[in-house]
């Protein structure tokens, strides 16, 4: 196992969508999430964590240390029971045994030791874990204009149905183009509690760069990771406020009079001269 994390980090990921829905809102008929007051597009932190989980599951299949706790259709209480069985725990209310089960969950499930988890449900409780990596909601650099597109088909559902008379299949929602910005935090202190290592962090950054390449679908359109900037502090507690670091990075339209329709329509600027002492800026993508 590699070394425990000894540095605080922050990071900014720019990703874009073209003719797709990056994150549907179930409260709005699955339309792309949007800030109703500003028109800025939104992607939830849960959505981004799902993509990271999926990539880790694909890329490290067969490696038990990189199993995923929150998977589609999973019964989470059954996974917590596995911690008790594997650790030979027979009691259910003993605090020390509960911590032993929690350590098993952190060691086995990548998403538990990365994002944390609430595992206090059912008969086999493993406590609550706060993960070292926390994500904000992603926001688009400019106002987006969601569109509703009607789609048709050439086939019939049943023999009684006349395909030539009933070709309407449904509707889908898209964003013609949007450049989104995700901000995140990595705590060395919480990493030491969950067993999150330097190798785990490298794999996480790998997932941020690659996750969209394995998440293509008709609904999401063309999505790509475009720019990943990481701030590495010289200490565990950090050497500068995260807000000051985030403000060093900006995305600006080259021609504000035209709506953006491609990544090339933007300039990503990084004020490297104002990076504080004790902080290293790393461009990973």
Which residue bears the tokens 């760069």? 209
- Considering the domain boundaries, does residue 4 fall inside one? no
Answer whether residue 141 is part of any domain: yes
CA-nearest of 56, 12, 49 to 282 is 12
pLDDT at 105: 95
pLDDT of residue 122: 85
Note the pLDDT of residue 165: 62
pLDDT digits 0-9 by tens, 55-101:
999 999 989 899 999 998 889 999 999 999 999 988 777 788 889 99
* Number of domain units in the chain: 1
Domain annotation covers residue 131: yes
Q: C-alpha dihedral over 219, 220, 222, 224, to 10 degrees? A: -170
pLDDT (0 to 100) of residue 119: 92
Q: Is residue 29 part of a domain?
A: yes
Separation of alpha carbons 268 and 277, rounded Å: 23
Is residue 1 included in any domain, yes or no?
A: no
Q: Which residues of the chain have pLDDT under 50?
A: none
Where in the sequence is the domain holding 169, given as residue range(s)? 9-283
pLDDT of 161: 64
User: Tell me, what's the pLDDT at 91?
Assistant: 74
Distance, CA of 176 to CA of 147 (rounded, Å): 8
């Amino acid at each position: 196992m590699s070394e425990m994390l000894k540095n605080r980090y922050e990071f900014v990921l720019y990703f874009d969508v073209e003719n797709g829905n990056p994150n549907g809102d179930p409260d709005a008929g699955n339309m792309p999430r949007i800030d109703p007051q500003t028109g800025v597009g939104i992607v939830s932190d849960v959505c981004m964590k799902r993509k990271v989980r999926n990539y880790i599951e694909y890329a490290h299949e067969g490696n038990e240390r990189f199993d995923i706790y929150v998977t589609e259709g999973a019964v989470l209480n059954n996974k917590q029971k596995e911690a008790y069985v594997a650790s030979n725990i027979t009691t259910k209310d003993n605090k020390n045994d509960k911590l032993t089960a929690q350590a098993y969950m952190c060691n086995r499930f990548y998403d538990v030791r990365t994002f944390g988890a609430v595992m206090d449900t059912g008969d086999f409780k493993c406590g609550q874990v706060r993960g070292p990596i926390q994500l904000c909601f992603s926001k688009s650099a400019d106002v987006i204009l969601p569109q509703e597109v009607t789609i048709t088909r050439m086939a019939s559902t049943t023999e009684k149905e006349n395909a030539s008379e009933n070709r309407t299949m449904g509707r889908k929602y898209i964003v013609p183009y949007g450049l989104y910005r995700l901000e995140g935090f990595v705590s060395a202190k919480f990493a030491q509690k969950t067993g999150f290592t330097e190798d785990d962090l490298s794999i996480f950054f790998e997932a941020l760069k690659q996750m969209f390449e394995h998440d293509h679908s008709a609904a999401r359109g063309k999505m790509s990771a475009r720019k990943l900037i990481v701030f590495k502090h010289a200490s565990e507690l950090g050497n500068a406020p995260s807000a000051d670091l985030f403000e060093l990075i900006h995305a600006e339209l080259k021609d504000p009079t035209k709506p953006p329709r491609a990544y090339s329509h933007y300039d990503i600027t990084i004020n490297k001269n104002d990076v504080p002492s004790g902080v290293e800026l790393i461009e990973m993508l």
